[in-house]
Amino acid sequence: MARLDVATGGHRMQIGFVGLGAMGSAMAGRLLAAGHAVHVFNRTAQRAESLRAQGASVAATPAEATAQAQVVVTMVSDDAALGQVTFGKDGIASALRDDAVHVGMSTIGVDAARQVASRHRAQRQRYVSVPVFGRPDAAAQGKLFLMAAGADADLQAVSPLLGQLGQSTHTIGPEPWQANLVKLLGNFMLMSMVETLAETAVVADKAGIEPARVVEALTGTLFNAPPYRNYGASIAAQRFRPAGFGLPLAQKDNRLLLAAADALGVPLPVASLLHDRFLGVRARGIGEGHDLSALAVGALADAGLRWKDG
């Protein structure tokens, strides 16, 4: 099949893929489309069915997805899930070949990343962290932005794979956790932008200016980047559902950043402020099903304004 040869550059790889949420499914689908052999595992087996239809082999355990793989990608929801699929019963570590590389792409905490790397190292196994920026549709098209950290040789080994998932890969440093930290910092920049846009929209509203008009005037000119435009529009319209970046996930990531900064000895007043905002918003019943943009409810409430439920 010529198409495959082109897509994989002639290197059809055996890939294990663990974690089939919206992001994981799109990424695994991308790898299948590129011609790789993909062995998928998900805790809830049903989520694997559409990938099976696309040609994936469905494994019963992480170990089974790992056994033949040259690369195993994990894309799970949090620290605990990563620990479980990696070092739990029938986990990745129990089956990882000496020459294979585990590529952790989940958004996790720095401590968790350190531990995963350290336990793999103790077993003489190869591990790199490559968290990503982008939504599922970007994943499906190989348009993610990748932050990669780990040993050079290991990153080199997986670079063809990364090239198929992302439009660019930035190498952060030799320690896998460094990439996880950069991912948390990127999310922090997003959240700070959201809070700032929310305060801006509220001032506009109280000044009798349509928030959408101000948001457009600013994000169509000086702040002309997609996250500004997208979050700005959502905040101006008070369109807080459906969740792109779910508010509870964002809150969790902010906690992870604060923990990392605490360990590094860095005060982060903006992140502290966001922490309090998240708590205040959630105490008002906002959270499940809401997007990060719903953080704006904090600024709205403090200005005595109402907000739509949506």
Nearest to 292, CA basis, from 203, 215, 171, 192: 192
C-alpha span between 65 and 36 (Å, rounded)? 14
Shortest distance, position 78 Cβ to a second copy, whole Å? 16
Helix (H) or strand (E) holding 35: none
DSSP 189-250: HHHHHHHHHHHHHHHHHHTT--HHHHHHHHHTTTT-SHHHHHHHHHHHHT---S-SSBHHHH
**Residues of span 59-98 touching a second copy by CB under 8 A:** none
Residue 89 annotated as catalytic? no
Amino acid code (one letter) for 51: L
Phi and psi based region of residue 150 (left: phi greater than 0; alpha: psi -120 to 50; beta: remaining): left
Shortest distance, position 110 Cβ to a second copy, whole Å? 8
Kindly indicate which of the ranges 17-25, 72-80, 215-223, 236-244 contains the residues binding a second copy, using the contact rule CB under 8 A: 215-223
**Residues of span 158-187 touching a second copy by CB under 8 A:** 168, 170, 172-173, 175, 178, 181-182, 185-186
Nearest to 176, CA basis, from 86, 95, 280, 271: 86
Kindly indicate which of the ranges 5-13, 43-51, 72-80, 253-261 contains the residues binding a second copy, using the contact rule CB under 8 A: 253-261
Q: Is the dihedral of CA 168, 172, 175, 178 positive or negative?
A: negative
Which residue, 65 or 197, has its beta carbon nearer to a second copy?
A: 197
Helix (H) or strand (E) holding 265: none
Interacting residue with a second copy among 52, 121, 284, 308 (CB under 8 A)? 284
Which residue, 155 or 190, has its beta carbon nearer to a second copy?
A: 190
Do the bridges between strand 126-129 and strand 71-74 make them parallel or antiparallel, or are there none, so unpaired? unpaired
Q: How many residues bind a second copy (CB under 8 A)?
A: 73
Shortest distance, position 152 Cβ to a second copy, whole Å? 15
Shortest distance, position 31 Cβ to a second copy, whole Å? 21
**Residues of span 184-203 touching a second copy by CB under 8 A:** 185-186, 188-190, 192-193, 195-197, 199-200, 202-203
Binding pattern to a second copy, positions 6-35, x when CB under 8 A? Answer: ------------------------------
C-alpha span between 52 and 279 (Å, rounded)? 41
Give the CA diameter of the chain. Answer: 65
Determine the distance from the C-alpha atom of residue 214 to the mean position of all C-alpha atoms in its chain, rounded to a whole number.
30
Shortest distance, position 27 Cβ to a second copy, whole Å? 17
Q: Is 231 in the site for a second copy (CB under 8 A)?
A: no
Shortest distance, position 171 Cβ to a second copy, whole Å? 8
Do the bridges between strand 144-149 and strand 14-18 make them parallel or antiparallel, or are there none, so unpaired? unpaired
Q: Is 220 in the site for a second copy (CB under 8 A)?
A: yes
Kindly indicate which of the ranges 54-62, 113-121, 216-224, 236-244 contains the residues binding a second copy, using the contact rule CB under 8 A: 216-224
Binding pattern to a second copy, positions 36-55, x when CB under 8 A? Answer: --------------------
Determine the distance from the C-alpha atom of residue 210 to the mean position of all C-alpha atoms in its chain, rounded to a whole number.
33
Interacting residue with a second copy among 127, 228, 231, 240 (CB under 8 A)? 228
**Residues of span 126-145 touching a second copy by CB under 8 A:** 133, 145
| Catalytically annotated residue among 89, 143, 183, 252 | 183
The residues carrying an active-site annotation are: 183
